[in-house]
């Protein structure tokens, strides 16, 4: 029942070997040139482009029809493959040695002039492009990104299948147990006043699957968080969700590193060196000022407490005595920074919440610093040398609590790398951070909250600290970091209901609340739960980093804006009152 | 940081070759037998079972610990693999030639007595099993079904990948465009009074992807319908969603049949004969009384209008004159049915909405029928012969409108097959039904509604009927039917905005409403839309049929009940007022 001439080849298929064959191509008019008598078009589809020639001398009828063609028309064109005339070949594209001399053309669909040109140099606003997402998606970069994403799915599915993982779908309509971010809710029509929630992660379900004996689980799954969105967040996002029984950290590490090796090899042609570098949370903070360090450049931090604890500069010595930390890093060649640049850096550092920024330059005249009179040239030099600096360098120092000193320095370090263009984009900064704190005190909630999530196992050496020195207890948690971005996180879980209850209690979640929210998991632990752990990879973010994009919107087919709107279909939208009545809700 | 002895082997791995090796197994205590001195346990994991022996003479310490073991405890057990004593081998299981003489055992998790036994002969109610789904999922049949489902995912992903399909994720938070079933709604926090909807299918998005030039799309995707549930429905279900550009029905057919061939071959070891049988909707109705015929047994229907149109039996002759249909089928051997059985059949047929059931038996005494005096032995015999009957058979006849006659006969046909046990479960009844009606008049809505969905292309021969004889226009729609159940459905779509608008108009959807709901698709069609079509497979139902289950709940990890409740975690549930306030809604 073909109502049009179906293609014999795609627009990327024809080669010199096809010369003389009569073919039919289906696709979009990419470019149209009318050179006096002869009309040339490039016909485009996902697979490539082919040049088509309409010659009035050879096929007058087809040429007449071709006059109506415009960019983005969808056509079926038939003709004989010819060798391109000498000198007109295009070696840049695989079909560039041939063209098709059209003897017939059908217009399958006309096209209005697109609101922006269909190419990667587009300068239309992102909002306009999102509104016309179907046109934006025709651009080569988005076609490439979604094809790349497709290949990533395949590699991931195959990797886990080959290792005995079972792909299991967990529910999207689940119970609301907000702990951390807000749930998206779904009112129940059948059960008046009750709601489902969309999963922030399938965490409890995958643990249940371990209790059920599935041993190795994986799923590429949509998750949802109703948060105020930042640049790289979306209300719905995709994760590779993994859980294993009878394992410890080393099993998850080996599994993950194997996956990374295959992804980088197959999709990027890069051989990763394994095992990956691994830092404790403490090491990452003290060396890079971040729990997701970017190790593609230096500027490593150093603590100078020992050097300054007895010095005359009170901000330093008193700070150390009060348990604080004085630390800093050296900017190679930074001695040449102007006064203006330094003032700017001081302001930037203060904007991060620092009391101030102490700095010293090692110039031709020796050590120079606004704080020279408090610290002395000698101490300044010892600090500089301790931090690895030499003549021509700049040392930056901050004194505050351990957390603030390192956090501020970490941000400052990234900022310096950006300003000095120190990040080598061809490098791969892939590493582990492990042994995160288990709980942290939330000033807002006036209680301890889980740093990872409430099902994370405490470090066995720190069980004794849980009640006595809660904030110091470490978790059996680990993050995988790529180029300064967290791309996966996981933990060894609690599989003992008594310890799990203790965790809830430490977090101020009463027994009743725990039973209401997580009773099914606690109950499951009563019937024989294996030791288990897992990890979840941010699929969108991983794809973004691997394709070199700056936004996850560029690796999703239909992303939403920062205010969670789909500009193409205008979701969310108003709905009929009848729909709301059936759901027993009213808007207020 | 191992806190337990990690397994060296799974519980399904040990063989005679391992005799003499010291191993560690992790798993669940499946069975425990205390034979005087010696304790035997079977240790179980997903991979199998292994017998473990605790002998007080050989390892008194381990034996002492084993006394505490109970069913479903999770343990780590170490020992040396031994040959089982002559006569105690179990050839039924792959590990049956060996056992492990335990010298050490650790209890990793204790277990209460399960509320029902963990085996397939369980007679606990389904509600109890769903509440303790984590235990139910330990049963061999559910483990098998989810492993089978896993393999089905892999085969499907690979099949489409190898054929150049791009896997693309479409949004779960989309625009509400209810047309047919009810949407699940998600209130927006950021946009007061607005709502997202969960997709009933990614239909519009996959068409958009064709407009974007992705050419071949597939996704295994969750869909949602807030309907009053029937036995084989779930509020969330999974489909294999497929769309292709520049195709007609034959391309979808070949693709689908290729997929079915590989699924049956790889997962069931069955060679399908291709091409599959294909019926028009009219043929399916007139031969089987169903648009999803079960062809694993006979009892084919036949029309007898020509034989009865002038007969004296008014119910028949007047019926035909009024444009109705008299049809029936023959039950081989049915002449021996008792009076009681026949009364029962008549009642059953009336319960389907039939005015009555006319029947005739061909006995030793010739044709016998309660309607004999109206129809005469001669006509009865001609009817019987026309329907393929002979001595010993029973003919069943219904007279009503075309639709009612065949629908009633179709149900009666299935009922007879069930009563007479005619369905050969080893057969595979896989077939196409095509050329469905495009629109049908809804008495409830007082307008035409789409039989498939509003994006389905009319049959090119029937474009002329659209306005003049709407109900007679056929669609370019097709269903794949397996053993009397629809497992996939699709169509060639409209790709022309004028025709699409006409379709909306025929369905009483005004221009404004069409633009509000589907404006983005109509707008997309303005910029060059390729001819396209697709199909969607019901993943749960397909898995159910392939595993021989009677309910899709048996092929899903965490199904909901008929009232859309998850008995395990008690979703849906009440939520905090704070959550509702943030969403600007109130329950009523």
Cβ-defined contact of A193 to B587 (cutoff 8 Å)? yes
The burial class, CB within 10 Å (0-12 / 13-18 / 19+), for B537 is buried
Please check whether the domain covering B297-423 is classified as CATH 3.30.1360.30: yes
A-chain CB neighbours of B560 within 8 Å are 171, 173
> What sign has the CA pseudo-torsion B470, B474, B476, B481?
positive
pLDDT in tens, B564-579: 999 999 999 999 899 9
CB A74 within 8 A of CB A111: yes
Report the chain A residue with the minimal C-alpha distance to residue B229. Answer: A190
* A175/B209 touch (CB, cutoff 8 Å), yes or no: no
- Provide the CB-side half-sphere exposure for A132 (13 A, CA): 21
The tokens describing A215, both together, are 């041993």
Q: Do A173 and B110 touch (CB under 8 A)?
A: no
Closest CB to A174 among B108, B111, B571: B571
Instruction: Test B1 with A211 for CB contact under 8 angstroms.
Output: no
ipTM (interface predicted TM): 0.95
Enumerate the residues of chain A whose CB falls inside 8 A of the CB of residue B526: 111-112
Query: Are B173 and A235 within 8 A, CB to CB?
Result: yes
Which residues of chain A lie closer than 8 angstroms to B527, CB-CB? 72, 111-112, 114, 132, 134-135
Would the CB atoms of B2 and A248 count as touching at under 8 Å? yes
Name the residue facing B109 among A528, A569, A584 (closest C-beta). A528
Provide the Cα torsion B232, B235, B239, B242; round to 10°. 130
Residue contact A209–B460, C-beta within 8 A: no
pLDDT of residue B113: 95
Kindly write down the DSSP assignment for every residue of B279-311, as one continuous string.
EEHHHHHHHHSSSS---SS----EE-HHHHTTS
- Choose among B134, B149, B191: nearest Cβ to A211: B134
**Chain A environment of B196 (Cβ under 8 Å):** 184, 571-572
CB within 8 Å of A436: residues ≥ 6 apart: A281, A291, A451, A452, A474, A475, A477, A478, A479
Nearest Cα residue in chain A from B30: A528
Q: Which of A437, A520, A512, A444 is nearest to A474 (CA)?
A: A437
- Report the C-alpha dihedral over residues A455, A457, A462, A467, rounded to 10 degrees: 20
CB atoms within 10 A of CB B252: 24
Q: Are B218 and B166 in contact (CB under 8 A)?
A: yes
Q: Which residues pair with A149 in a beta bridge?
A: none
For the stretch B549-567, pLDDT in tens is 999 999 999 999 999 999 9
Task: List, for chain A, all residue ranges whose pLDDT scores fall below the cut of 50.
Answer: 1
Cβ pair B300, B328 in contact under 8 A:
no
| Chain A neighbors of B523, CB-CB under 8 A | 132
The pLDDT assigned to A532 comes to 98
All residues of chain B having their beta carbon less than 8 Å from the beta carbon of residue A4 are: 246, 531
Place of tokens 């020279």: A372
Find the angle CA(B436)-CA(B515)-CA(A135) to the nearest 5 degrees: 90
Test B530 with A584 for CB contact under 8 angstroms: no
* Nearest residue in chain A measured CA to CA from B524: A134
Question: Which of B150, B173, B575 faces A195 most closely, judged by CB atoms?
Answer: B575
Which residues lie below 8 Å from residue A41, measured CB to CB, with a gap of 6+? A29, A30, A31, A32, A33, A51, A52, A54, A66, A69
The half-sphere exposure of A152 on its side-chain side, counting CA atoms within 13 A, is: 27
Residue A1: per-residue pLDDT: 46
pLDDT at B122: 81
Nearest Cα residue in chain B from A197:
B572
Determine, for residues A3 and B460 on separate chains, whether the beta-carbon distance falls below 8 Å.
yes
Return d(Cα A67, Cα A418) in angstroms, integer: 52
Cβ B6–A222 below 8 Å, yes or no?
Answer: no
- Cα-Cα end-to-end distance for chain A: 54
Å from A340 to nearest chain B CA? 42
Long-range residue pairs from B188-191, CB within 8 A, at least 24 positions apart, any chain: B188/A564, B188/A572, B188/B583, B189/A182, B189/A226, B189/B582, B189/B583, B189/B584, B190/A228, B190/A563, B190/A564, B191/A563, B191/A564, B191/A565, B191/A572
Residues of chain B with pLDDT below 70 are 1-2, 179, 230-231
- CB pair distance less than 8 Å for A175 and B146: no
> Does residue B446 sit in helix, strand or coil?
coil
Residue numbers in A near B191 (CB within 8 A): 563-565, 572
- CA B366 to CA A407: how far, in whole Å? 99
Subunit contact B150:A161, Cβ cutoff 8 A: yes
How far is B275 from B411, CA to CA, in rounded Å? 27
Residue A560 to residue B45, Cβ atoms within 8 A? no
Question: DSSP states of A199-265 as a string?
Answer: -S--HHHHHHHHHTT--EEEEEEEEE------TT--SEEEEEEEEEES--HHHHHHHHHHHHHHHHH
Helix or strand holding residue B54 (H, E): strand B48-54
Burial (CB count within 10 angstroms: exposed 0-12, middle 13-18, buried 19+), residue B69:
buried
What integer pLDDT is reported at residue A177 of this predicted model? 81
| Domain chopping of chain B, boundaries | 16-109, 297-423
Contact B409, B289 (CB under 8 A): yes
DSSP string covering B72-88, please? T-EEEEEEEEEEPPTT-
Please answer yes or no on whether B564 and A191 come within 8 Å at the CB atom.
yes
Total residues found in chain B within this entry: 588
A458-470 as b/e, with b when 16 or more CB fall inside 10 Å? bbeebeebbeeeb
Chain A contact probe: residue of B475, B559, B569 with most A CBs at under 10 A: B569
Chain B's closest residue to A112, CA to CA, is: B527
Nearest CA to A118 out of A40, A28, A10, A41 is that of A28
From the number of C-beta atoms within 10 Å of its C-beta (0-12, 13-18, 19+), residue B155 rates as middle
Q: Cβ distance B331 to B390 under 8 Å?
A: no
CB contacts, 8 Å: B184 with chain A: 173, 186, 196
Task: State the nearest Cα–Cα gap between A83 and chain B, in angstroms.
Answer: 27
Any idea which fold B16-109 has? OB fold (Dihydrolipoamide Acetyltransferase, E2P) (2.40.50)
Residues of B in contact with A560 (CB under 8 A): 171, 173
Of B143, B141, B205, the residue nearest B175 (C-alpha):
B205
Q: How far is CA A406 from the centre of its chain?
A: 24
Q: Tell me, what's the pLDDT at A453?
A: 87
CB B236 to CB A47 under 8 A?
Answer: no
**Best mutation target, A528, A552, A561, A585, to test chain B (most B CBs within 10 A):** A528
Q: How far apart are CA A577 and CA A585, in angstroms?
A: 10
- Say yes or no for a CB contact (<8 Å) between B222 and A226: no
- Distance in angstroms (rounded) separating the CA atoms of residues A212 and A115: 54
Cβ–Cβ under 8 Å, residues A355 and A399:
yes
Cα–Cα distances in Å, from A28 out to A52, A74, A279, B528? 12, 5, 52, 7
The shortest C-alpha distance from B354 to chain A (Å) reads 34
Read off the pTM: 0.95
Q: Is the dihedral of CA B248, B249, B250, B254 positive or negative?
A: positive
pLDDT at B1: 46
* Token code pair at residue A3: 């109502």
Residue B107, SS3?
strand
Using alpha carbons, select from A212, A200, A191 the residue that is nearest to residue A171: A200
Q: Is the distance from CB of B562 to CB of B237 less than 8 angstroms?
A: no
Q: What is the DSSP string of A441-470?
A: EETTTTEEEESS-TTBPBPGGGTTHHHHSG
B-chain residues within 8 Å CB-CB of A184? Answer: 173, 186, 196
- Mutant choice from A144, A173, A570 vs B, greatest count of B C-beta within 10 A: A173
Q: What residue in A sits closest to B26 (Cα-Cα)?
A: A246
Residue A231: its pLDDT value, please? 66
Q: What is the pairing mode between strands A216-224 and A166-167?
A: parallel
CA distances, B455 to each of B206, B509, B538 (Å): 12, 13, 19
């Amino acid at each position: 029942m073909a109502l049009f001439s179906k293609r014999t080849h795609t627009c990327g298929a024809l080669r010199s070997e096809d010369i003389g064959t009569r073919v039919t191509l289906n696709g979009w008019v990419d470019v149209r040139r009318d050179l006096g008598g002869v009309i040339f078009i490039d016909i485009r589809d996902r697979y490539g482009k082919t040049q088509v020639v309409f010659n009035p001398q050879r096929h007058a009828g087809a040429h007449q029809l071709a006059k109506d063609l415009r960019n983005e028309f969808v056509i079926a064109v038939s003709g004989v493959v010819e060798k391109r005339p000498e000198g007109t070949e295009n070696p840049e594209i695989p079909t560039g040695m041939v063209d098709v001399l059209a003897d017939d053309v059908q217009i399958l669909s006309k096209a209005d002039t697109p609101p922006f040109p269909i190419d990667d140099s587009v300068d239309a606003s992102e909002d306009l492009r999102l509104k016309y997402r179907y046109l934006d998606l025709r651009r080569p970069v988005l076609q490439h990104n979604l094809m790349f994403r497709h290949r990533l799915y395949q590699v991931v599915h195959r990797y886990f299948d080959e290792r005995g993982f079972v792909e299991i779908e967990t529910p999207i309509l689940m119970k609301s147990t907000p702990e951390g971010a807000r749930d998206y809710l779904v009112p129940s029509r059948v059960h008046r006043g009750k709601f489902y929630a969309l999963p922030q992660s399938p965490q409890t379900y995958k643990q249940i699957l371990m209790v059920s004996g599935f041993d190795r689980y994986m799923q590429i799954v949509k998750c949802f968080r109703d948060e105020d969105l930042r640049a790289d967040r979306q209300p719905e996002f995709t994760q590779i969700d993994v859980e294993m029984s009878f394992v410890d950290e080393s099993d998850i590490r080996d599994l993950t590193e194997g996956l990374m090796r295959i992804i980088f090899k197959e999709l990027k042609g890069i051989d990763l060196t394994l095992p990956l570098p691994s830092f404790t949370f403490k090491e990452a903070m003290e060396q890079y000022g971040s729990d997701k360090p970017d190790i593609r450049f230096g500027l490593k931090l150093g603590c100078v407490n020992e050097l300054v604890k007895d010095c005359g500069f009170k901000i330093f010595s008193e700070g150390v005595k009060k348990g604080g930390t004085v630390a800093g890093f050296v900017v190679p060649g930074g001695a040449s920074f102007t006064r203006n640049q330094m003032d700017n850096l001081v302001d930037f550092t203060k904007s991060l919440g620092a009391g101030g920024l102490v700095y010293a330059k090692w110039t031709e005249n020796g050590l120079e610093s606004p704080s020279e009179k408090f610290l002395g040239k000698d101490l300044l030099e010892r600090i500089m040398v301790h931090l690895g600096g030499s003549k021509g360098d700049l040392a930056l120092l901050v004194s505050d609590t351990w957390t603030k000193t390192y956090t501020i320095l970490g941000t400052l370090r990234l900022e310096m790398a950006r300003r000095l263009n120190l990040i080598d984009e061809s490098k791969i900064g892939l590493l582990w951070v492990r042994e995160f704190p288990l709980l942290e005190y939330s000033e807002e909630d006036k209680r301890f909250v889980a740093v990872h999530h409430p099902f994370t196992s405490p470090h066995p050496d720190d069980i004794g600290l849980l009640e006595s020195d809660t904030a110091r207890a470490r978790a059996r948690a680990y993050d995988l970091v790529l180029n300064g971005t967290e791309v996966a996180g996981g933990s060894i879980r609690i599989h003992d209901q008594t310890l799990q209850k203790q965790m809830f209690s430490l977090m101020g979640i009463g027994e009743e609340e725990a039973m209401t929210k997580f009773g099914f998991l606690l109950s499951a632990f009563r019937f024989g739960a294996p030791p288990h752990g897992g990890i979840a990879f941010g699929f969108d973010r991983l794809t973004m980093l691997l394709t070199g994009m700056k936004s996850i919107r560029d690796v999703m087919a239909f992303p939403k804006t920062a205010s969670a709107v789909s500009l193409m279909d205008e979701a969310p939208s108003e709905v009929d009152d009848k729909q709301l009545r059936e759901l027993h809700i009213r808007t207020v």
